[in-house]
Structure 1
Amino acid sequence: MPFPVRKPLCRCLALVVGSVVAHAAHAQRDVPSAGKAPFFLTLQIGGGAGLVAVGGGVQLAHQKLEPELLLGRVPGRLSGQPLTIFTFKTTYLPVRPTFGQHWRASAGVGGYINYTTGATMRDSRDTKVYQRGYYWFSTKVRTGIFVAPRLTYAGNPTLAHPSPPRVSGYAEFGTNDLYLLSRLPNKGAPSFTELLTLGFGSKASW
């Protein structure tokens, strides 16, 4: 008696497995068009990347990860001589609740590393300025962390364009290694508010 029961059961399992495989294959064919990595352009003011910085990157991991490159500039009237800042940063957006059909709010966290050129940025290895061992890292290279609340407006997705154009505005609150290390041996100076960097920016993606 077990054999007649086992045959229909095997057939049912085969149908279920076949249906699942067919559905997965169909979904996989749809992934490249719907899950392509959208590019974006960035305009940022402040935030440790320069008075004004421009650049761009690509959205990965279902648009939750944003690596990008920025080129920033600080005018000479603010720093003695003009400074150019090259920044690589990555933003991770774990939560992205939507409001209505087009609006999306998100809270991003991330980190960056940048390099500043210019004669006013003394290298820590310059013995004419710093005694040996005063800085054990380069004063021209900064690493930092930040949080970035964001508000995004997106168009309507279509079959031809599943990732519609989006425009985002964000604020960026962060700090860097030099600010943090300057507080460790000097308790209370600078204050925690003086350790923070503040920036504002906009991103346009398509």
Structure 2
Amino acid sequence: MLFVGRQVLLRGIGLAVNLAGSLVCQAQSDPFSSGKAPFFLSLHVGGGLGLVAVGGGVQLAQQRLEPEVLVGYVPRRFSSKPLTIFTFKATYLPVRATLGDHWRVSGGVGGYVSYTHGATIRDSKDPSNYTPGYYFFSTKVRTGLFVTPRLTYAGIATVQRPNPARVAAYAELGTNDLYLLSRLPNKGGISVSDILTLGFGSKVGW
């Protein structure tokens, strides 16, 4: 009886080990596993953040919240002098749908705060540029909101590559505080399309 009991115990331990190993392998093979490293790099074009902007951030809340910092650049040919735009942006993705083993479609909203450094942007707080009270905020600081669809591709994790890269392409349609305040008193002269911004970008996570 003692020998039989030992055999049953060893078989039970073996089954438990195999089951745990199977669960680990499944978690490793999930390309969108929330246990992956949360860091990503960004490349952004347009949308009021610069002709081109680069940066990076982290994924939080099971990959639904993405705060990031970007540095954008506007060359001289689009402005009398080059501009540098520093942006803090946060994106929230409540809608997600997986397509097969490698693809995910997401939808979300976000907001940003940016600061533009450059001599061509006149500071509204400078009395030599504007009369006091003309703008109650700094024209060098922009705050904006946007909606964003996204398509993400992820490889299958293996023992050799436990964290394969995830590549996402997205678009952002939004506006900012200056555009909105410009439309309010000029509803007949400024259309809704005039106050919208459109940007595109890509993110690579690992």
Q: TM-score range by the shorter chain?
A: 0.7 to 0.9
1:49-60 paired onto structure 2 within 5 Å = 49-60=49-60
Amino acid at match of 2:205: S
Q: Within 5 Å, give how 1:46-195 maps onto structure 2.
A: 46-158=46-158, 164-195=164-195
Q: What is the alpha-carbon distance in structure 2 between the residues aligned to residue 205 and residue 187 of structure 1?
A: 42
RMSD of the alignment, in Å? 2.0
Cα 1:150–1:183 change in 2 (3 A) is: same
TM-score, with normalisation over the residues of structure 2?
0.81
- What TM-score, normalized to structure 1? 0.81
After TM superposition, give the deviation of residue 194 of structure 1 in Å: 0.6
Counterparts of residues 33-48 of structure 1 (less than 5 Å): 35-48=35-48
Contact 2:64–2:92 (Cα < 8 Å) also in 1: yes
| 5+ long unaligned stretches in structure 1 | 1-26
Q: Distance in 1 between matches of 2:198 and 2:34?
A: 35
Cα distance, 1:190 vs. partner?
1.4
Query: Which range moved further: 184-193 or 57-66?
Result: 184-193
Gaps of 5+ in 2: 1-23, 28-32
The 3-state SS of whatever aligns with 1:135 is: coil
Instruction: State the 1:112 CA deviation.
Output: 0.2
| Shift of residue 162, structure 1, vs aligned partner | 5.9
SS at match of 1:96: strand
Equivalent residue of 2:170, what SS? strand
Q: Structure 1 pair 96/158, CA: closer, same or farther in 2 (3 Å)?
A: farther
Deviation at 1:157, TM superposition (A): 3.0
CA distance 1:140–1:89, change in 2 (3 Å)? same
AA in 2 matched with 1:82: P
The alignment-based identity, stated in percent, is: 70
Q: CA deviation at 1:187?
A: 1.6
Partner Cα distance (2:107, 2:93) in 1:
6
Distance in structure 1 (CA, Å) of the matches to 2:71 and 2:119: 18
Contact 1:34–1:162 (8 Å) recurs in 2: no
Paired residues of 1:34 and 1:163 also in contact (CA < 8 A): no
Instruction: Give, in angstroms, the shift of residue 165 of structure 1.
Output: 1.6
Q: Deviations over 1:175-201 (max 9, x none)?
A: 000000011111222110011001010
